[in-house]
């Protein structure tokens, strides 16, 4: 393991340790009532599988990651005109309920077009030593399941266009709520071609495992 990849792995482990105290106290039935009785379903679908790639699939996402993102929208740590207004009226209990509900749903299967497979797989599994891009697998795992305890998100089966948009937002400084600015640092070293390829790769990653 290279020193750069080792450093990323250690950082992930340390963050996981510091986040492991987070407990899930949400009620999935209450979460279902909130999800289906509010504008949530308009963008994300009643079961968390958004019909449009503009919005992320929430089904099957890690609970702690979902909670953190909703809390960040509410606090202003992550900005989006629609989501900030939606989260503003959510209580901590509402957030926990929604997170558990969506996490319990089954995500629809994604796919990887052939033209993105080679480069996407290389970036995800090996990174780019020349530019200093670490391997995505170090934090997000071989099957793209993320790290629930550390609040690292699941990437597998996510809409490719959404993943691409978020990587570019990290790179351009439009999103900055990642821990220790890690994703901003990674994305800034990635080319547009690498971002597009790895986004499509993770969309179909789960199907291969």
Q: How far apart are CA 56 and CA 189, in angstroms?
A: 24
Please tell me the predicted confidence (pLDDT) of residue 131: 98
**Are 130 and 199 within one domain?**
yes
Tokens of 92: 């901590």
pLDDT of 191 strictly over 50: yes
- CA separation for the pair 207, 185 (Å, rounded): 29
What are the Cα distances from residue 111, in Å, to 58, 79, 198? 17, 29, 12
Sequence-separated (6 or more) residues with CB below 8 Å from residue 3: none
Average pLDDT over residues 165-174: 98
Shared-domain flag, residues 130 and 195 = yes
Tell me how far apart the alpha carbons of residues 203 and 185 are, in angstroms, rounded to a whole number: 22
Asked which of 7-11, 79-83, 119-123, 160-164 is least confident by mean pLDDT, the reply is: 7-11
Determine which of 125-129, 134-138, 145-149 has the lowest per-residue pLDDT on average.
Answer: 145-149
d(C-alpha 25, C-alpha 61), whole Å: 16
Same domain, 180 and 196: yes
Same domain, 31 and 122: no
For position 105, what pLDDT does the model report? Answer: 98
Q: Give the range among 22-26, 60-64, 143-147, 168-172 with minimum mean pLDDT.
A: 22-26
**Structural domain ending residue among the three candidates 103, 135, 163:** 103
**End position of a domain, from candidates 50, 81, 103:** 103
> Looking at residue 174, what is its pLDDT?
96
At 10-67, the pLDDT tens digits run 444 444 433 433 564 899 999 999 998 878 999 999 999 999 999 999 999 999 999 9
59: containing domain: 21-103
Q: How confident is the model at residue 6 (pLDDT cuts 50, 70, 90)?
A: very low
Report d(CA 86, CA 104) in Å as an integer.
Answer: 21
- Cα separation, 76 vs 84, in Å, equals 7
Binding site per annotation, positions for heme c: 40, 43-44, 83, 136, 139-140, 183
Does one domain contain both 161 and 91?
A: no
pLDDT of residue 25: 82
* Residues 118, 78 share a domain: no
> Tens digit of pLDDT for each residue in 71-121?
999 999 999 999 999 999 999 999 999 999 999 999 999 999 999 999 999
Phi-psi region of 135 (alpha: psi -120 to 50; beta: other; left: phi over 0): beta
Q: pTM, whole model, 2 decimals? A: 0.87
* Same domain? 114 vs 196: yes
154 and 127, same domain (yes or no): yes
Residues 10 and 113 in one domain: yes
CA 137 to CA 135: how far, in whole Å? 5
Q: Which residues are part of a known binding site?
A: 40, 43-44, 83, 136, 139-140, 183
Query: Predicted confidence band at 207 (pLDDT cuts at 50, 70, 90)?
Result: low
Answer with the one of 74, 103, 132 that is the final residue of a domain.
Answer: 103
- Assigned token pair, 12: 């992930």
Predicted confidence at residue 138, as pLDDT, reads 97
Examine the domain organization and report whether 25 and 95 are in the same domain. yes
Lowest mean pLDDT among 13-27, 117-131, 171-185: 13-27
CATH code of 53's domain: 1.10.760.10
Do 184 and 97 have their domain in common?
no
Query: How many domains are contained in the chain?
Result: 2
> 203 and 118 share a domain?
yes
């Amino acid at each position: 393991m290279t020193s750069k990849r080792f450093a990323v792995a250690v950082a992930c482990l340390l963050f996981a340790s510091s986040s492991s105290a987070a407990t899930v106290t949400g009620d999935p039935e209450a979460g279902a009532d909130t999800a289906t009785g509010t504008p949530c379903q308009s963008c994300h679908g009643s079961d968390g599988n958004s019909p449009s790639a503009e919005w992320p699939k929430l089904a099957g996402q890690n609970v702690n990651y979902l909670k953190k993102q909703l809390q960040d929208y509410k606090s202003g740590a992550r900005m989006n005109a629609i989501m900030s207004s939606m989260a503003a009226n959510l209580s901590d209990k509402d957030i926990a309920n929604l997170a558990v509900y969506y996490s319990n749903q089954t995500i629809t299967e994604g796919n990887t077009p052939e033209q993105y497979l080679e480069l996407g797989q290389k970036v995800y599994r090996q990174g780019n030593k020349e530019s200093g891009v670490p391997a995505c697998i170090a934090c997000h795992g071989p099957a793209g399941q993320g790290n629930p305890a550390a609040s690292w998100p699941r990437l597998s089966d996510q809409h490719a266009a959404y993943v691409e948009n978020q990587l570019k937002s990290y790179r351009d400084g439009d999103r900055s709520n990642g821990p220790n600015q890690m994703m901003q640092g990674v994305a800034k070293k990635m080319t547009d071609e690498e971002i597009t390829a790895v986004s499509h790769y993770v969309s179909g990653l789960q199907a291969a495992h």
